[in-house]
Amino acid sequence: MFITVLLIWLCVCLIVVHVKSHRPKNFPPGPAILPILGNLLHLHLENPLKDFERLRQSYGNVYSLFTGSRPTVVINGLKAMKEAMVIRAADYAGRPQDMLFSNVTQKKGLIMVDYGSSWRDHRRFALMTLDFGLGKKSMEDRIHDEIQYTTKTLETSIGKTLSPQVMFHNAASNIICQVLFGKRYEYDDDTIKTIVRCFTENTRISNGPWAMIYNSLPIIRNLPLPFRKAFKNHETCRNIARRLVNEFKKTRVPGEPRHFVDCYLDELEKRGGQDNSFSEEELVAACLDLYSAGTDTTSNTLLTAFLYLMNHPHIQERCQREIDQVLEGKDRPSFEDRNNMPYMQAVIHEIQRIANTAPLILIHCTTKDTELMGYSIPKGTVIIQNLTSVLSEEGQWKFPHEFNSENFLNEKGEFVKPEAFMPFSAGPRMCLGEGLARMELFLIMVTLLRKFKFIWPEDAGEPDFTPIFGITLTPKPYRMKVQLRSEQ
């Protein structure tokens, strides 16, 4: 009797799982769905990018996968991306709220919080503050302050070789710390080393098989498996941010903000506790989100930049000639100088395109029943944007599969930005850190190229341009040789 009941129960469970994993009517096509696992076996969990392209060839620019019983739609190509993220932007602006990192962040902050009035208010506040509200010291000044330390690091390595990974990561980290907290950290400071370690580990977890398993099989979530480390790491960073916020509360002068935290505390005071969407816990979460958005993408793009410039010395030299001409007589570059540097602009944008730093960006979900390219997409469907498919799409670029600044220059040598250039996605969920990243990339690259020549070491062998997959694509570790240009 017991065996019979057990078998009936198992059959019912399998039927329920099969029904939940069944493609709805007029849903995008995709590979066959297995009970419980969905399409997990169709993806290489350590790096699914090639699988996404392979499935695109079979099923088209809009296709579906199932992670367990959860339906997911993968969007490829400019036309489909524009329809979803621009034309139907509000329909596709949600965040899945029952996945590893929405649970780790407790659905607070600027990134993983769901689409709604609280998210809109915080995003609007963050954008306004980053653009105009950070006190007397401009964003450019904060970036130039940190560039001095990068320059000193390079000066101590003249004639030698060095690994630039830590240097660029610390530079990007300190710039966002200046914006958030008005302070920088020495590169061996225990606080920043702890933050970097926690974010690095969580990046690895979020793009590894354990995150996929967590998202697909809710029954295992309370087990002591490796994904629990992500919760511990995030709590460690939250405690550091809380401590900093409490320090600033003691020394701030209302109405005279020194950094993002002061601006938020001013806003909190202005609202007088009447708006419970603004709180000190939300401030802590926003700081951690801005830190993560403002560090890896920039540092990895800089690493990609110098990897390519060393191996295309004629491009490096042409950039330097333009920099010398435009900056003659000036102590340092300003962000406005980019308007007089069409070739430098083209090279930086081509580096962003080829770096493809955030190939899958952050997942979205639909906020209502909607459509895409003629298919019906139910509310709550997970959406993955395959930005690789846009940044290397045939017909959108002169040279889609090679590093070539002509992708951003017209026949007159003027800088142009094709519609398919969307390294940080598009629409209301477009990456918050893009404005800061653009300024950092220009000021850092121009300053360093003006002063130094970067050379691929003779004993380094052939360069490997294949990146390492993660939340961001990271160039494989390499070494660079540095010379002062005045010695050439």
Within a 10 A sphere around the Cβ of 44, how many other Cβ atoms?
Answer: 12
pLDDT of residue 215: 78
pLDDT band at 427 (very low <50, low <70, confident <90, very high): confident
Predicted pLDDT at 132? 64
Average pLDDT over residues 159-185: 89
Whole-number pLDDT of residue 202: 83
What residue spans define the domains of the chain? 2-487
Fold of 2-487: Cytochrome p450 (1.10.630)
Q: What is the pLDDT of residue 69?
A: 80
Q: Which residue has the higher pLDDT, 87 or 15?
A: 87
Rounded mean pLDDT of 423-427? 81
Mean pLDDT across the stretch 62-74? 89
| Residue 42 and residue 31 in contact, taking contact as beta carbons nearer than 8 Å | yes
What's the mean pLDDT in 284-307? Answer: 90
Percent of the chain residues topping a pLDDT of 70: 92
Sort 86 into a burial class: Cβ within 10 Å, 0-12 / 13-18 / 19+.
middle
Listed ranges 66-70, 112-116, 249-253, 323-327; the one with the highest mean pLDDT: 323-327
Predicted confidence (pLDDT) at residue 372 exceeds the cutoff of 80: yes
- Asked if the model's pLDDT at residue 258 lies above 80, the reply is yes
In this structure, are residues 440 and 335 in contact, taking their beta carbons and an 8 Å threshold? no
Higher pLDDT, 350 or 95: 350
Average pLDDT over residues 152-166: 91
Return the pLDDT at 133.
61
Weakest-pLDDT range from 165-179, 198-212, 237-251: 198-212
| Pairwise pLDDT comparison (431 vs 458), residue with the higher score | 458
Q: How far apart are the first and last CA of the chain?
A: 89
Predicted local confidence at residue 488, as pLDDT: 42
The pLDDT of 18-25, averaged and rounded, is: 64
- Is 7 a residue whose pLDDT tops 80? no
- pLDDT at 273 > cutoff 70: no
When comparing pLDDT for 251 and 48, which is higher?
251
Is pLDDT at 368 greater than 50 in this prediction? yes
Q: What is the pLDDT of residues 433-472, one digit of tens each?
A: 788 889 999 999 999 999 999 999 998 888 888 888 776 7
Confidence of residue 212 (pLDDT cuts 50, 70, 90): confident
pTM, rounded to two decimals: 0.89
Question: In the chain, what percentage of residues exceed pLDDT 90?
Answer: 47
Q: Considering the chain, what is the average pLDDT of its residues?
A: 86
pLDDT tens per residue, range 214-251: 877 778 888 888 889 989 999 999 999 999 999 999 99
What local confidence, expressed as pLDDT, does residue 35 receive? 85
Q: Are 118 and 277 in contact, with CB atoms under 8 Å apart?
A: yes
Question: How far is residue 317's CA from residue 319's CA, in Å, rounded to a whole number?
Answer: 5
